[in-house]
Structure 1
Amino acid sequence: MTPHDTTTDEHAERFTLLRPLLFTIVYEILGSAIDSDDVLQDSYLRWAQVDLATVRDTRSYLARLVTRQALNALRASVRRREDYVGPWLPEPLLLDENDPSADVVLAESVSMAMLVLLETLSPDERAVFVLREVFGFDYDEIAAAVGKSVPTVHQVAHRAREHVQARRRRFQPVDAAKTARVTEEFMTAAATGDLAGLLTLLAPNVTWTADSGGKATASRRPVVGAQKVAAVLIDLFRTSRRLPGMRIQVANCNNTPALVARIGGDHPEGVLLIEITDGKITNFYAVRNPDKLVAMTVPRRISR
């Protein structure tokens, strides 16, 4: 084996070991699994050229590398989003069923509610918030990653934290048994058209947000209120029953129960994420844009 092969192996080994962490950082900055895969691929090509003798801390070095690439991708995508038809939601992230969601910080950080909230930050604020609050990097490490001075990063972190705290609802650790029960009751009520049963499960100000990008049938504005959302759900389930070969399965997306609708093959037709707070359903996030469902065939591993 040549020295070059040895270093190639060493580069690959270090990157593979940290890949779940690096993927999670990039996904939280971008809200897209597909774009995150592209960023990691590009970052690996850069990493493969690095002289390992110059790397003191692999985790910090790679986090810096992927953050820079993620920020470039995020700035480019902000312009694309200005022309987006209807509400924009992050791509759902299919997780391994036995993914350890005992890590409350990690569970909240990939929740659809948090990712939607992170959309309201500037690219720099988002990267700084994620690196500091979720992954606990030092300010000097973050400064190197975002190309700003340490005092500036302190200010950005403070601003981002205040912004998130002002808009974030109280996050509770997920009670898996209660969540499973509510999801099951919801499935039964929606599938049988049981309006009364459905209304007992919905919070009064429950919100339905659908992302189609104009590429599938979906409401162009969020629907708010138990009665209105229940009507949307009953109509949706009634329509899906008429489609031949339609199957709906429960999956873990973004550490929350999700209904995945498939007709025939592996690729989903739509994904409905259910957010449950205090035993009531508070939000539905319906992702119908086929471009955002491409990565839903493979469960991901996340880490921090």
Structure 2
Amino acid sequence: MDPQTAVFQQHRQRLFSLAYRMLGTPSDAEDVLHDAWLRWHAQDVAALDDPQAWLVTVTTRIALDRLRRAKTERAHYSGPWLPEPLTVDADQPEAQLERAESLTLTFLLLLERLSAEERAAFLLREVFDYSHAETAAMLEISEDACRQRVHRAKQRLREDRPRQPLPDTKAQHRLLERFVQALQQPDLETLRALFAEDALHVADSGGLARATLHPLHGADRLARLYLQIARQQRRYGVRHEIRQLNGTPALLSWCDQTLVAASWIDSDGEHITAVHALRHPDKLARLAAVTKAAAPASLH
């Protein structure tokens, strides 16, 4: 490996982590890294005082441009949009540093509430621990403007943050096990008892699979929805598997060898407060390819 490539590879995981948190989609993050690599390859590396800062700056700016385009495209997306999982389980060596709250799918979805500029400033300052001065330089804004963006982002995230900001993974796993049992032996009251009174259901199909096109609210509505889903799944022999997605428990649903849904939950420790169901065939196909390379966890 030549020295220029070796430097890029040395920082690649950090660059990918930043791009993925910016965009919420692994394939988009890889595209950003490809563009960053092309610019790096054309750069006179010997003239750089801080290669990592240069790489982070370029990656951030490429991701910012892509995120601005993505926000425009998502405004015309069919139904809700959900981030795409990065990891199945969290026991691979490269995933050991990816267990923070900032990588959970719930938090990535929360970041969608921020403008592209706020998101970049918040991630660089609060997640990747660059100073306000360093962040401002990377974004080509004043330090005061950087502080304002980070402050607005933190304020908005505090307002919108779920009631259980740091997920209790053991409680989530227990609730998912109860959820699977209720799906296998569907009963309206059993299902209803799982959900908080103001529980939320959001599904992402991109208009390419059968799913709710708008968020649903309330334990009664969610119980009726999943009673219907459970009966359909029993008819088609759907099986369920509890795995780790981005460091927290999630439910994968399979029909034969096809992944038909990937769902993760928010909880208050006792009840499910939100269900996020990924039903987009393309996203599921990419996730299935990763999943099949790993041994199953909890099969039901």
Give yes or no for TM over 0.5: yes
Cα distance, 1:255 vs structure 2: 2.5
Is the alpha carbon distance of 1:213 and 1:46 closer, same or farther for their aligned partners in structure 2, counting shifts above 3 Å?
same
What is the CA–CA distance in structure 2 between the aligned matches of 1:12 and 1:251, rounded to whole Å? 35
CA shift at 1:173, angstroms?
A: 4.0
Percent of pairs with identical residues: 37
TM-score if structure 2 supplies the norm length?
0.86
Could you tell me how far apart the structure 2 residues matched to 1:11 and 1:269 are? Answer: 42
2:82 aligned counterpart, secondary structure: coil
Distance 2:115 2:125 in 1: 15
The residue number in structure 2 matching 1:273 is 264
Match of 2:240 among 248, 252, 267: 248
Shift of 1:217: 0.8
Q: Residues 145-170 of structure 1, C-alpha deviation per residue, up to 9 Å, x if partnerless?
A: 22222221122111212111122135
Q: What is the rounded CA distance, in whole Å, between the counterparts of 1:86 and 1:226 in structure 2? A: 21
Partner of 2:123: 130
Paired residues for 1:1-304 under 5 Å: 9-98=2-91, 107-243=100-236, 246-265=238-257, 268-296=259-287, 297-298=289-290
Structure 1 counterpart of 2:286, one-letter code:
A
Partner of 1:3: none
Tell which has more relative contact order, 1 or 2 (C-alpha 8 A, sep 6+): 1
Distance 1:88 1:10, change over 3 A: same
Q: Give the count of matched residue pairs.
A: 290
RMSD: 2.5
Letter in 2 for 1:180: H
Q: Using the alignment, how far apart are the partners of 1:154 and 1:285 within structure 2? A: 32
| Shift of residue 49, structure 1, vs aligned partner | 2.4
Deviations 1:241-284 (A, max 9, x none): 2226x44322212332222223444x632211122232321111
Structure 1 residues 75 and 172 mapped into 2: Cα distance closer, same or farther (>3 Å)?
closer
Q: C-alpha distance in 2, partners of 1:176/1:169? A: 15
**CA separation of 1:159 and 1:173: change in aligned 2, threshold 3 A:** closer
Mapped partners of 1:14, 1:203: distance in 2: 49
Query: Could you say what secondary structure the match of 2:210 adopts?
Result: coil
Question: Which has the higher mean CA deviation after the structures are superposed, 93-102 or 199-208?
Answer: 93-102
Q: Which amino acid aligns with 2:82?
A: L
> 1-side partners of 2:178 and 2:156: how far apart?
35
Q: CA deviation at 1:171?
A: 4.3
- Segment drifting more, 43-52 vs 121-130: 43-52
Unaligned runs of 5+ in 2: 292-300
Shift of 1:234: 2.0
| Partner-residue secondary structure (3-state), 1:148 | coil
